[in-house]
């Protein structure tokens, strides 16, 4: 490792050798971090998409639920307007949040942003007013907005925000507020996951009302009330507006269905939330009644006679909002998301060519750097929610584009402290979150895992090789993760390369008290389906009152037991229902019921002998 | 990494290890990676090569001047590297001694300026970015000093980040 300096002084040579050693050592360390970062990324993505797939699979079964989706809305829009009217809502003197006047003005939106920055809440009256105005405006917009960029103004395009108000404010700070001189496109997924989804909507709608020709909103797959049931937006609204929440949600349902589907800039650049498929035809898309597609799961509401036509229309829209690009050629159904497709570079060429377009800008997927090109730079993904999985997991970005139609991406990262995390800190935190999420998934599948391990352990020694551990785990979880690389983080102890799998499974248990439970499979099934349960219950509770009757409860359990392939006796259900009804008024508080399904309380019920 | 030494690994085990690490960077799912990722992959397999060593490996496995490396080319080359234990890990004492060599006055720490000078001017110099990152990790902020004994402990092999 010498530097060949010939007549070098020994001391200097020694220093150089020392420096070389340190450099080598440090670079190895950085590389290990990089590997862990990639693994962590893979974990989050696979769990996230597996979750979304479950969501779409919650298809209503049986008469009880399907009637909820029947399109019996013969009411005219004017009747709805009366229902949503804000006029009856009084603002008390005690309210010290912002007061708005209409028509909406730039001052009004600024006031709104200031208030939200100071964590104030807008009164329900004003919320209903803004939403009402927005609804009226959106009804006049086409499915595809045609925009042109000229020399004096560049357009800004933002991707997913997912309720992260910090990021929106950061974008406005870095890039300036929307105005006639500063047009914006917001490319969907404004809500869910983050805790300020409603604030983001109100700000975006505010700007839309003030600058209707310069602010453009595209619908994302999360602008869908069924998805909102699971991913947090419904909960957020009901939590913030206990009295008017239901009405607000209903109005938002309509607004979401009226959001435009795409934008085209200078006839050359297509901006849409998800992407395309090989059948995407914008001329057809522009003629669909987009507001009739309320959500990705509205298919079951369709009457037999016009099923085929409607199915095709819904398909067009689902493709635009749910699809992802893939490196291989072709177009295949998107099994991971459960809706839309995976489309290849050949499809990009074809669809862009068909419409004389040169670039597709889309969002929908989180990217480490906030943006990513693919398909020969013809597709650009833009994602604006930084720290999406965990603090430090990724940057956000937005696009600036002038008349040359060349996209320039600007990155940022919102951080609670003003210092940026070091590489090591951000990887560490993100990794811990990912590993925790992964351990939860492993715990949930522990019966299947044990069974899979036992296949490699015919003599019942309790030990299997690391190789077999990796194979078995992969076959059960099907997440396609690099288990061998993750192994050191998940399996802390090995005996000469062998894993004591029963011990390992035991150690996986989350910090729950060790209680003797007779039938652990029920627990696991419950926990595994926790989010599905909540979704189903919220579907039952149609008036969002938070209460369900014993009868409805019974029906739900019957539905669930067939969905989950479990046997539950009628008596068990009745007993369970009665024990849930704490105030004995013949109805069950949905919140308390959901609490019971958190592991701890459920165990308590079992202990009490209820189940 | 240690337990792998306790019983000899088969070639097929090694192949699996290499392929798994390789595939982490195979973004297009076509068994190729960007040549610039090779160093990370090699490091991740427990090796401690110098930059010169890495350049040699990359030159051997790169597809002409395309900037890409195919798994079929990489696998045999890397397998040989692992079977030969060509770039074994550096024992912690050696790193410590290396720091002590640089710490000419035996202070027990290095100043920011000192470390920067060595890392960016000697051996296989760091880029500015690498130097910044190293300082962010190792520097005891209040006094601008690198207490290397702690640092070596902190960045130990396979250490879980605290």
What digits encode the pLDDT tens for the residues A304-330?
A: 434 455 566 778 888 999 999 999 899
Q: In this model, does residue A66 exceed pLDDT 50?
A: no
The secondary structure element, H or E, covering residue A382 is: strand A379-382
Q: Which residues contact A28 (CB under 8 A, 6 or more apart)?
A: B43, B47, B48
* Mean pLDDT of the B71-100 span: 89
CB B98 to CB A467 under 8 A?
A: no
- According to the model, what pLDDT value does residue A414 have? 81
Which tokens in the block code for residue A87? Answer: 């006029």
| Interval A260-270: pLDDT, tens | 999 999 999 99
Tell me the C-alpha distance between A201 and A291, whole Å: 18
B8 and A CB contact within 8 Å: no
Which tokens in the block code for residue A572? Answer: 């068990």
Task: Look at the pTM and tell me if it is higher than 0.80.
Answer: no
Confidence of residue A74 (pLDDT cuts 50, 70, 90): very low
Interface of A with B in 13-72 (CB under 8 A): 14-32, 34-35, 38-39, 42
* Mean pLDDT of the A170-174 span: 89
Q: Are A173 and A101 in contact (CB under 8 A)?
A: no
Q: In this model, does residue A180 exceed pLDDT 50?
A: yes
- According to the model, what pLDDT value does residue A86 have? 82
Q: Are A430 and A389 in contact (CB under 8 A)?
A: yes
Ramachandran area for residue B121 (φ above 0: left; ψ -120 to 50: alpha; else beta): alpha
Chosen from B98, B116, B129 to mutate, greatest number of chain A CBs within 10 A: B98
CB B16 to CB A467 under 8 A?
A: yes
Q: What is the ipTM, given to two decimal places?
A: 0.87
A327 and B CB contact within 8 Å: yes
Confidence of residue B152 (pLDDT cuts 50, 70, 90): confident
- According to the model, what pLDDT value does residue A566 have? 58
Q: In this model, does residue A429 exceed pLDDT 80?
A: no
Chain B CB contacts of A14 below 8 Å: 101
- According to the model, what pLDDT value does residue A461 have? 87
Low-confidence winner among A52-61, A172-181, B50-59 (lowest mean pLDDT): A52-61
Q: Are A252 and A225 in contact (CB under 8 A)?
A: yes
Helix %, strand %, coil % of chain B (to 5) = 55, 10, 35
Angle at the Cα of A487 from the Cα atoms of A528 and A51, rounded to 5 degrees: 25
B77 and A CB contact within 8 Å: no
Angle at the Cα of A316 from the Cα atoms of A313 and A205, rounded to 5 degrees: 95
Helices A106-117 and A165-175: angle between axes, nearest 10 degrees: 130
Q: Which residue has the higher pLDDT, A379 or A533?
A: A379
Paired sense of beta strands A155-158 and A396-401, if any: antiparallel
Nearest to B149 by CA among B140, B136, B141: B140
CB A23 to CB B126 under 8 A?
A: yes
Q: Compute the CA torsion angle A383, A387, A388, A391 (nearest 10 deg).
A: 170
Percent of chain B with pLDDT over 90: 14
- According to the model, what pLDDT value does residue A601 have? 41
- Which range has highest mean pLDDT (A414-423, A450-459, A560-569)? A450-459
- According to the model, what pLDDT value does residue A65 have? 29
Q: What is the mean pLDDT of chain A?
A: 78
* Mean pLDDT of the B65-88 span: 90
CB B16 to CB A29 under 8 A?
A: no
Q: Are A198 and A119 in contact (CB under 8 A)?
A: no
| Interval A288-304: pLDDT, tens | 888 877 665 433 333 44
- According to the model, what pLDDT value does residue A585 have? 64
Paired sense of beta strands A463-465 and A396-401, if any: unpaired
Nearest to A254 by CA among A161, A163, A135, A339: A135
| Interval A12-39: pLDDT, tens | 888 888 998 889 888 888 887 777 777 7
- Which range has highest mean pLDDT (A371-375, A429-433, B13-17, B93-97)? A371-375
Percent of chain A with pLDDT over 70: 69
- According to the model, what pLDDT value does residue A540 have? 57
Closest Cα in chain B, distance from residue A382 (Å): 18
Interface of B with A in 142-161 (CB under 8 A): 155, 158, 160-161
Tell me the C-alpha distance between A196 and A204, whole Å: 12
Chosen from A11, A19, A367 to mutate, greatest number of chain B CBs within 10 A: A19
B20 and A CB contact within 8 Å: yes
* Mean pLDDT of the B62-88 span: 89
Paired sense of beta strands A269-272 and A324-325, if any: unpaired
| Closest Cβ–Cβ partner in A19, A424, A484 for B122 | A19
Q: Which residue has the higher pLDDT, B5 or B115?
A: B115
Q: In this model, does residue A494 exceed pLDDT 70?
A: yes
Chain B CB contacts of A38 below 8 Å: 24-25
Closest Cα in chain B, distance from residue A324 (Å): 14
Chain B CB contacts of A35 below 8 Å: 21, 24, 40, 43-44
A482 and B CB contact within 8 Å: yes
Q: In this model, does residue A420 exceed pLDDT 50?
A: no
Q: In this model, does residue A137 exceed pLDDT 70?
A: yes
B140 and A CB contact within 8 Å: no
* Mean pLDDT of the A378-386 span: 96
A5 and B CB contact within 8 Å: no
Q: Are A223 and A259 in contact (CB under 8 A)?
A: yes
* Mean pLDDT of the A402-420 span: 78
Sign of CA dihedral A376, A410, A197, A154: negative
- According to the model, what pLDDT value does residue A69 have? 31
| Closest Cβ–Cβ partner in B3, B40, B49 for A34 | B40
Measured CA to CA in angstroms, residue A94 lies from A91, A237, A283, A294 at distances of 8, 21, 53, 38
Closest Cα in chain A, distance from residue B102 (Å): 6
| Interval A450-481: pLDDT, tens | 999 999 998 888 889 888 888 898 888 776 67
Residue of A nearest to B12 (CA): A467
Chain A CB contacts of B49 below 8 Å: 24
B31 and A CB contact within 8 Å: no
Residue of A nearest to B117 (CA): A19
Q: In this model, does residue A426 exceed pLDDT 60?
A: no
Confidence of residue B149 (pLDDT cuts 50, 70, 90): confident
- According to the model, what pLDDT value does residue A531 have? 55
Residue positions of A annotated with a catalytic role: 222
Which tokens in the block code for residue A530? Answer: 């926790």
- Which range has highest mean pLDDT (A307-316, A538-547, B21-30)? B21-30
Nearest to A69 by CA among A59, A79, A77, A55: A59
- According to the model, what pLDDT value does residue A1 have? 44
B49 and A CB contact within 8 Å: yes
Measured CA to CA in angstroms, residue B13 lies from A400, A454, A465, B16, B41 at distances of 49, 21, 12, 5, 16
* Mean pLDDT of the A565-593 span: 63
Low-confidence winner among A311-325, A326-340, A577-591, B141-155 (lowest mean pLDDT): A577-591
Q: Which residue has the higher pLDDT, A495 or A56?
A: A495
- According to the model, what pLDDT value does residue A208 have? 97
């Amino acid at each position: 490792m010498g530097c060949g300096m010939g007549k070098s002084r020994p001391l200097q040579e020694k220093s150089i050798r020392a420096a070389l050693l340190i450099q080598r050592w440090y670079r190895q360390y950085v590389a290990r971090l990089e590997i862990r970062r990639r693994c962590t990324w893979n974990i989050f993505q696979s769990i996230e998409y597996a979750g979304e797939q479950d969501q779409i699979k919650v298809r209503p079964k049986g008469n009880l639920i399907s009637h909820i989706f029947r399109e019996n809305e013969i009411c005219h829009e004017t009747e709805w307007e009366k229902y949503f009217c804000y006029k009856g809502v009084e603002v008390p003197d005690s309210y010290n949040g912002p007061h708005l006047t209409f028509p909406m003005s730039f001052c009004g939106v600024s006031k709104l942003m200031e208030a939200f920055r100071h964590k104030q809440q807008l009164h329900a009256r004003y919320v209903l007013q803004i939403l009402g105005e927005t609804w009226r405006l959106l009804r006049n917009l086409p499915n595809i907005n045609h925009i042109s960029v000229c020399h004096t103004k560049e357009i800004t395009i933002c991707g997913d925000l997912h309720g992260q108000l910090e990021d929106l404010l950061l974008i406005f700070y870095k890039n300036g507020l929307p105005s006639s001189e500063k047009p914006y496109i917001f490319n969907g997924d404004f809500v869910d996951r983050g805790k300020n989804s409603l604030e983001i909507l109100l700000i975006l709608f505010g700007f839309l009302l003030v600058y209707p020709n310069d602010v453009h909103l595209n619908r994302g797959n999360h602008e869908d009330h069924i998805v909102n049931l699971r991913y947090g937006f419904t909960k957020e609204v009901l939590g913030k507006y206990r009295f008017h929440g239901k009405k607000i949600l209903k109005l938002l349902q309509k607004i979401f269905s009226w959001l435009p589907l795409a934008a085209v800039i200078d006839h050359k650049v297509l901006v849409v939330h998800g992407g395309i498929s090989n059948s995407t035809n914008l001329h057809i898309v522009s003629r669909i009644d987009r507001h009739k597609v309320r959500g990705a799961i509205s298919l079951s509401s369709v009457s037999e006679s016009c099923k085929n036509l409607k199915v095709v229309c819904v398909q067009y829209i689902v493709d635009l909002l749910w699809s992802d690009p893939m490196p291989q050629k072709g177009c295949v159904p998107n099994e991971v998301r459960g809706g839309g497709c995976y489309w290849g570079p050949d499809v990009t060429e074809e669809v862009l060519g068909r419409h004389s377009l040169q670039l597709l800008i889309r969002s929908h997927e989180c990217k480490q750097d906030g943006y990513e090109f693919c398909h020969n730079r013809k597709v650009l993904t833009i994602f604006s929610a930084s720290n999406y999985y965990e603090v430090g997991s990724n940057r956000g970005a937005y696009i600036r584009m002038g008349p040359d139609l060349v996209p320039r991406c600007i990155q940022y990262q919102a951080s609670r402290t003003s210092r940026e995390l070091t590489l090591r800190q951000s990887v560490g935190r993100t990794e811990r979150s990912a590993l925790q999420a992964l351990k939860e998934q492993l715990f949930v599948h522990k019966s299947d895992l044990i069974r899979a391990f036992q296949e490699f352990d015919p003599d019942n020694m309790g030990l299997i090789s690391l190789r077999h551990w990796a194979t078995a785990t992969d076959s059960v979880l099907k997440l396609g993760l690099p288990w061998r690389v993750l192994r050191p983080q998940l399996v802390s102890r090995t005996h000469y390369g062998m894993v004591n799998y029963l011990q390992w499974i035991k150690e996986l248990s989350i910090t729950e008290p060790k209680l003797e439970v007779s039938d652990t499979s029920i627990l696991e099934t419950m926990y595994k389906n926790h989010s599905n349960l909540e979704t189903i219950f919220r579907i039952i509770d149609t008036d969002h009152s938070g209460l369900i009757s014993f009868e409805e409860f019974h029906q739900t359990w019957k539905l669930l037991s067939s969905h989950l392939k479990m046997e539950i006796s009628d008596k068990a259900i009745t007993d369970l229902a009665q024990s849930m009804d704490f105030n004995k008024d013949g109805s069950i508080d949905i919140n308390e019921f959901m609490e019971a399904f958190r592991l701890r309380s459920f165990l308590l019920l079992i202990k009490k002998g209820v189940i | 990494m240690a337990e792998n030494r306790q019983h000899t690994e088969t070639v097929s085990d090694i192949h699996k290890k290499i392929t798994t690490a390789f595939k982490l960077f195979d973004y297009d799912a076509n068994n190729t990676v960007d040549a610039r990722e090779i160093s990370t992959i090699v490091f991740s397999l427990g090796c401690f090569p110098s930059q010169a060593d890495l350049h040699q490996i990359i030159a051997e496995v790169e597809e002409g001047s395309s900037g890409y490396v195919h798994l079929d080319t990489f696998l045999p080359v890397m397998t040989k590297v692992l079977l030969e234990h060509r770039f074994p890990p550096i024992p912690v004492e050696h790193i410590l001694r290396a720091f002590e060599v640089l710490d000419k006055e035996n202070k027990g720490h290095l100043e920011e300026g000192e470390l920067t000078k060595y890392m960016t001017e000697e051996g296989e110099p760091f880029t500015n970015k690498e130097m910044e990152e190293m300082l962010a990790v190792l520097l005891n902020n209040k006094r601008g000093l690198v207490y290397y004994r702690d640092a070596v402990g902190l960045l130990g092999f396979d250490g879980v980040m605290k």
